[in-house]
Structure 1
Amino acid sequence: MKIDMILVFAIVVGLVAVPYALFILFGSGNSKKIEKQIKEEANKNNLNINHREKWASRYLSLDSIANKLLFSRTRGEQLVHQHIDLNTITRIVVLEDRISKRIDGKMHDTLEKLSLELISKENVQSIVINFYDSTLDATQNYEMNRVNKWKELIEKQLKLNAKHSKAA
């Protein structure tokens, strides 16, 4: 009787654990491939990344020595890179697009898009880094915290760059 219970337990655990282990071992191949492509892009552009973050299909990296951002995102099967020279940026603005929706008879304010706008010195062209878009992203995952963290990190980098420019 005990051997039967042990056998049943082993089969049930195997049915749960084996697929999970296979997913962990082989399911993250695309993620590793994308990470490799981002590292190659950084190396190709002589970037030494010291801050990075990955969420949804987006990857944001900062080289604080070269004063550059690398924003990468997947569009379908393709990985698109955007290089941003922070030497050309003077200020940053958080852009929030919200709409009011009636849910269960009550009005709720919902986030539709969340981005950082990097405004250039000449105010000619601004660069927008999209952190969340409800038409592309199924759920929110701390995007407000993430956008504020990166805004603070980039502003700190801009202040350091301004001090170095004045000292030189």
Structure 2
Amino acid sequence: MKLDILLVDLALVAAVVIPYILFILLGKKEGRKLKTRFSEEMQKHDLSLSEEDSWNNSIVGLDKVRAMILFVQKRKVDFAVEFIDLKEVRTCEIYTEMQTISREQDSEDILQKLGFQLKLNNGEFRFIELYNCEESYAQDYELKHAERWKKTINDLINVRSTLNSAA
């Protein structure tokens, strides 16, 4: 009788613990794939990063010497890889797309999309998508990361334009 209860207990513990461990291992595997792809792109384009940041399914790095930013993001299907040559960028702004959900007495804005709107020196715009709710429901301070990188990009652009005007 005690053996039957022990076997049932072990089966229940295994049914709970094994999926949990598999979930953790699969998550780490996806993270390693993202880091590997980021490293491959960095080496392929001979970048030497002075700043790097990773969150959720994204990694971004800055090469201050070459004024280049590498952005790699894991999407549902594949990876999105973006190179931003800051010598071609005039300004960087954040764009957001929100959806307002009304409830009984109040409403709530839900982030749908978030990204950079880069105004290039030739007057064109380039959009870099940092977050899309259709790709990932999880938010990891997306706006905070976007604001930090917007400031970094604009500071580097301003330093470069100051040096160019002084020369």
Assess same fold via TM > 0.5. yes
| Shift in Å, 1:45 | 0.6
Alignment of 1:6-155 (within 5 A): 27-124=27-124, 126-155=125-154
Q: Which runs of 4+ in 1 moved over 4 A?
A: 14-27
Change (3 A) 1:164 1:28: same
| Shift in Å, 1:17 | 8.2
2:52/2:62 contact within 8 Å kept: yes
What SS class does the counterpart of residue 34 from structure 1 fall into? helix
Normalization by structure 1: what TM-score?
A: 0.77
Q: RMSD of the alignment, in Å?
A: 2.6
1:119 maps to a residue whose letter is K
Deviation by residue 1:99-156 (Cα, 9 ceiling, x = unmatched): 32113442222222111111101112x2212222222221322112111111111111
1:157 maps to a residue whose letter is L
Q: How many equivalent residue pairs? A: 155
Change (3 A) 1:105 1:120: same
Change (3 A) 1:139 1:154: same
2:146 maps to a residue whose letter is V
| Shift in Å, 1:43 | 1.1
| Shift in Å, 1:24 | 5.7
2:60 maps to a residue whose letter is L
| Shift in Å, 1:74 | 2.3
2:34/2:72 contact within 8 Å kept: no
Aligned to 2:159: 160
| Shift in Å, 1:46 | 1.1
What is the aligned-residue identity percentage? 24
What are the ranges of 5 or more consecutive residues in structure 1 without an aligned counterpart? Answer: 1-10
